[in-house]
Amino acid sequence: MNTSGNQITSGLKIGLFGIGLNTYWDQFEGLEQRLSGYVDEVADKLTGFGSGVVNLGLIDTPQKAFEAGSRFRKEDVDLIFLYVTTYALSSTVLPVVKRAKVPVVILNLTPGAAIDYATFNKMKNRTAMTGEWLAYCSACPVPEIANVFKRAAIPFYQITGMLHNDPHVWQQVEEWIAAAKVVHTMYHNTLGIMGNYYGGMLDIYSDLTLQCATFGGHIEIMEVDELSGLRDTVQEIEVKDKLKEFHERFDVQSDCSDFELERAATTAVALDKLVAKYNLGSMAYYHKGTGNAANEDTMSSVILGNSLLTAAGIPVAGEYEIKNAQAMKIMDSFGAGGSFTEYYAMDFNDDVVLMGHDGPCHPAIAEGKIKVKPLQVYHGKVGNGLSVEMSVSHGPVTMLSVVETAGGKIIFLVAEAESVAGPILEIGNTNSRYKFTIGARAFVETWNSHGPAHHCAVGKGHIASKIKKLGDLLGVETVKVC
Nearest to 214 by CA among 105, 322, 334: 322
Nearest to 434 by CA among 390, 398, 403: 398
pLDDT of residue 369: 87
Q: Report CA-CA distances (Å) from 35 to 25, 59, 64, 119, 121.
A: 10, 11, 17, 20, 22
pLDDT of residue 95: 97
pLDDT of residue 385: 75
One of 3.40.50.10860, 3.40.30.10, 3.40.50.10940, 3.30.70.260 is the CATH number of 13-185, namely: 3.40.50.10940
**Residue extents of the structural domains in the chain:** 13-185, 189-480
Provide DSSP, 393-416. PSEEEEEEEEEE-TTS-EEEEEEE
CATH 3.30.70 fits 189-480, yes or no: no
Main-chain phi, psi angles of 335, to 5 degrees: 80, 15
Divide the 482 residues of the chain into consecutive groups of 10 and give the mean pLDDT of each group.
40 95 95 96 94 96 97 96 96 97 97 91 91 91 97 97 96 97 97 93 94 98 96 97 95 92 96 98 90 89 92 93 96 93 92 84 84 69 74 93 95 97 79 94 96 92 98 98 98
pLDDT of residue 5: 40
* Chain centre to alpha carbon of residue 269: 28
